């Protein structure tokens, strides 16, 4: 009876001693572990973390507003002898004003029958200018619009069609019904994906509209904007822009710009929000014969356009 | 109740009258309290600290020069307006050297030193791009003003993809796209500093024929190291991420020892 407490003490010592040591050891090891290194989250663990995200972009090339002339001709070939029906008149005439600082641009669509500085239709200077046709056309358009043309891009029918096919087509929202056997355009209003052949039909159709070439010019500007948006959706990395510019370069004739500079302009254009690009038709009225002349509204619009390439009040 | 008699059986710690059970109980409770206190202290003082203990932090006072970052070549291709062009190995190497210099001088060195970038980036960027990099885009393009990395800096770099644009048989434009992921502990409590950088460079030859970055497009994500949630990087231009995908080959991992 008297030895029982002693045995209990020994038993307690055997149980509690190791327990205490274990607790102290665990606490110490935990302290060392936590102090020595950041605990890494286990897979699936949620950690509070603040993230800062930023982007930066710098584009080379022009920093000031500039103007480019985009022409579409009806020539069926680069060789005039192979295109007897159309020597290459510029049936699509667009002056693009680009303002890099504002990330904005304007597409000024000029009806082909607009009278040029010598009284001829504006679409004819590219042909009458011979070997310097692109520069002659640029000078004529510059005289009509009052803006200096930095460079010219020209595509004919087959190259336009091939180019659209090579970039994978264009997504566009057809604004009004089109039903024209001359161009082959038969479209209902709404979104559609156009391949090269159908894009050309859309761009050529003027018989579906009461105001003929004016609506056609507007639609051509719409097609350019749609192409830009389509390309932006597919990706606008530098490498992808190389592919695009190489494709463009294979199918157009350039004046006043080299491929490297065109690449920089392409990067710039692809960075624009389409909402910052206006598409307007030069206001025109009837002139002598079948010529069209600038209407009274044109002067203020062109002044607005010429100062920085962007229409602020139109 | 009977007292336990004194004697050799009880050993040197002979308990006082009626106290043995209570004493063991006190010892057990005290030990538990000590253990709990140690645990609480550890969690309070040591929890969430970075990987470098304070003793190590005091040792690391200078940023080593010569941190090696492994930048490797990915896909190389070219497209041309005229005759096909080929990007030479020398041209590819020049691009790799530029990317390596940028990653090292603009990110690794300042992360190590915690000081503003002092390296010469004029051999990477043309004057116009350099002005923007060191001006309006400085906070994004350079990893300065961030907590200094005190331990190993893990650098994972995807291979650099190069695309060339040819005209009249010459390469007139090169593009380089790459991604760099860096992680390193700092003295700031919390997760380590983690920086992801996705970059598109456009390069053109300068008057002397040396390739220089003339345009760039970069998206940078920084996290961890107690970055202030109210501080957001200001970008004067777009932050649209590039949709370009990294090369399919495996990324190069570099552990930059402090």
pLDDT at B11 over 50: no
Question: In the structure, what pLDDT confidence band is assigned to residue B211 with cuts at 50, 70 and 90?
Answer: very high
Q: Which two tokens stand for residue B50?
A: 């970075």
pLDDT at B224 over 90: no
Q: Which two tokens stand for residue A44?
A: 């699936």
User: What is the value of pTM for the model shown?
Assistant: 0.73
pLDDT of residue B52: 34
Residues in chain A, total: 314
- Contact (CB, 8 A) for A114 and A105: no
pLDDT of residue B40: 54
* A233 close contact with B: CB closer than 8 A: no
pLDDT at B246 over 80: no
Q: Which of B19, B85, B133, B215 is the mutation pick for testing A, counting most A CBs within 10 A?
A: B215
Alpha helices in chain B, H assignment, sequence order: 20-41, 54-59, 89-103, 109-113, 127-133, 138-141
Of B49, B132, B190, the CB nearest to A58: B132
Judged by DSSP in three states, B118 sits in coil
Question: In the structure, what pLDDT confidence band is assigned to residue B39 with cuts at 50, 70 and 90?
Answer: low
Q: Which residues of B touch A35 (CB under 8 A)?
A: 42, 45-46, 49, 53
* B27 close contact with A: CB closer than 8 A: yes
- Contact (CB, 8 A) for A240 and A70: no
Return the ∠ at Cα A58 (arms to B209 and A50), rounded to 5°. 130
| pLDDT tens-digit series, residues B188-198 | 888 889 999 99
CA B41 → CA A26, A41, B163, B208, distances in Å? 13, 21, 57, 64
Q: At what angle do helices A157-166 and A196-204 cross, to 10 degrees?
A: 130
The closest alpha carbon to A59, from B201, B105, B174, belongs to B201
Question: In the structure, what pLDDT confidence band is assigned to residue B64 with cuts at 50, 70 and 90?
Answer: very low
Higher pLDDT, A116 or B1: A116
The residue with tokens 């970039």 is A167
Residue A240 to chain B, least CA–CA distance (Å): 8
| Bridging pattern class, strands B193-205 and B170-184 | antiparallel
CA distance B180 to B197: 5
Higher pLDDT, B252 or A256: A256
Per cent of chain B over pLDDT 70 is 63
* B242 close contact with A: CB closer than 8 A: yes
The residue with tokens 């302290």 is A31
pLDDT of residue A97: 97
Question: In the structure, what pLDDT confidence band is assigned to residue B67 with cuts at 50, 70 and 90?
Answer: low
pLDDT at B48 over 60: no
Q: Which two tokens stand for residue A39?
A: 């605990």
Residue A306 to chain B, least CA–CA distance (Å): 25
CB contact under 8 A, A31 and B42: yes
pLDDT of residue B83: 92
pLDDT of residue A66: 96
pLDDT of residue A22: 79
Minimum Cα–Cα distance from A8: chain B residue: B21
A/B interface, count of CB pairs below 8 Å: 245
pLDDT of residue B7: 42
Of A2, A49, A239, the CB nearest to B177: A239
pLDDT of residue B254: 58
- Contact (CB, 8 A) for B252 and B159: yes
Contacts of B94 (CB under 8 A, 6+ apart): B210, B211
Q: Which residues of A touch B235 (CB under 8 A)?
A: 54-57
Per-residue pLDDT, averaged over B79-108, amounts to 95
Of A38, A54, A238, the CB nearest to B49: A38
Q: Which two tokens stand for residue B123?
A: 């051999």
Q: Which residues of A touch B126 (CB under 8 A)?
A: 60
The pLDDT tens digits along chain A (314 residues) read 455 567 777 777 777 777 777 777 877 776 666 555 444 444 444 444 455 677 888 887 788 999 999 999 988 877 777 777 778 899 999 999 999 999 999 999 999 999 999 999 999 999 999 989 999 999 999 999 999 999 999 999 999 999 999 999 999 999 999 999 999 999 999 999 999 999 999 999 999 998 889 999 999 999 999 999 999 998 889 999 999 999 999 999 999 999 999 999 999 999 999 999 999 999 999 887 889 999 989 999 999 999 999 998 88
pLDDT at B243 over 60: no
CA distance B20 to B250: 69
Residue B255 to chain A, least CA–CA distance (Å): 17
Q: Which residues of A touch B165 (CB under 8 A)?
A: 242, 245-246, 259-260, 263
Per-residue pLDDT, averaged over B219-229, amounts to 77
pLDDT at B57 over 50: no
The closest alpha carbon to B161, from B256, B235, B251, belongs to B251
pLDDT of residue A7: 74
CA distance B83 to A259: 13
CB contact under 8 A, A53 and B219: yes
* B200 close contact with A: CB closer than 8 A: yes
């Amino acid at each position: 009876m008297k030895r029982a407490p002693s045995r209990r003490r020994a038993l307690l010592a055997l149980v509690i001693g190791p327990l205490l040591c274990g607790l102290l050891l665990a606490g110490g090891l935990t302290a060392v572990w936590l102090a020595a290194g950041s605990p890494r989250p286990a897979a699936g663990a949620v950690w509070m973390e603040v993230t800062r995200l930023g982007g930066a972009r710098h584009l080379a090339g022009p920093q000031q507003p500039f103007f480019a002339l985009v022409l579409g001709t009806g020539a069926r070939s680069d060789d005039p002898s192979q295109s007897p029906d159309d020597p290459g008149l510029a049936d699509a005439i667009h002056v693009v004003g680009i303002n890099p600082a504002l990330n904005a641009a304007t597409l000024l669509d000029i009806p082909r029958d607009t009278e040029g500085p010598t009284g001829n239709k504006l679409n004819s200077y590219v042909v009458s200018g011979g070997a310097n046709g692109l520069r002659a056309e640029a000078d004529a358009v510059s005289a009509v619009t009052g803006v200096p043309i930095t460079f010219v891009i020209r595509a004919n029918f087959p190259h336009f069609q091939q180019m659209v096919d090579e970039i994978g087509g264009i997504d566009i929202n057809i604004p009004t019904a089109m039903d024209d056997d001359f161009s082959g355009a038969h479209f209902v209003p709404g979104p559609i994906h156009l391949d090269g052949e159908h894009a050309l039909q859309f761009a050529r159709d003027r018989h579906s509209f009461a105001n003929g070439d004016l609506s056609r010019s507007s639609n051509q500007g719409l097609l350019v904007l749609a192409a830009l948006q389509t390309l932006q959706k597919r990706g606008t990395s530098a490498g992808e822009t190389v592919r695009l510019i190489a494709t463009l370069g294979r199918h157009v004739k350039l004046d006043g710009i080299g491929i490297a500079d065109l690449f920089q302009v392409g990067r710039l254009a692809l960075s624009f929000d389409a909402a910052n690009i206006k598409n307007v038709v030069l206001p025109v009225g009837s002139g002598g014969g079948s010529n069209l002349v600038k209407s009274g509204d044109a002067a203020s619009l062109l002044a607005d356009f010429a100062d920085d390439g962007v229409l602020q009040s139109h | 109740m009977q007292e336990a008699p004194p004697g050799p059986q009880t050993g040197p710690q002979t308990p006082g009258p009626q106290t043995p059970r209570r004493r063991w109980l006190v010892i057990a409770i005290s030990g538990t309290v000590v253990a709990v206190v140690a645990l609480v202290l550890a969690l309070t003082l040591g929890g969430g600290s970075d990987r470098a203990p304070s003793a190590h932090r005091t040792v690391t006072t200078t940023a080593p020069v010569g941190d090696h970052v492994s930048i490797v070549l990915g896909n190389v291709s070219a497209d041309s307006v005229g005759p096909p062009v080929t990007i030479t190995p020398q041209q590819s190497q020049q691009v790799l050297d530029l990317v390596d210099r940028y990653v090292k001088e603009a990110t690794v060195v300042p992360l190590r030193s915690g000081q503003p970038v002092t390296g010469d980036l004029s051999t990477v960027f043309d004057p116009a791009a350099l002005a923007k990099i060191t001006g309006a885009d400085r906070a994004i393009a350079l990893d300065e003003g961030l907590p200094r990395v005190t331990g190993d800096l893990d650098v994972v770099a995807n291979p650099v993809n190069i695309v060339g644009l040819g005209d009249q048989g010459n390469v007139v434009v090169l593009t380089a796209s790459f991604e760099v992921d860096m992680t390193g502990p700092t003295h700031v409590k919390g997760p380590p500093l983690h920086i992801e950088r996705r970059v598109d460079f456009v390069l053109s030859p300068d008057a002397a024929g040396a390739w220089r970055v003339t345009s760039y497009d970069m998206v940078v994500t920084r996290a961890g190291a107690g970055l202030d949630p109210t501080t957001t990087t200001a970008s004067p231009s777009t932050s649209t991420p590039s949709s370009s995908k990294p090369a399919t080959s495996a990324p190069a991992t570099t552990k930059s020892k402090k």
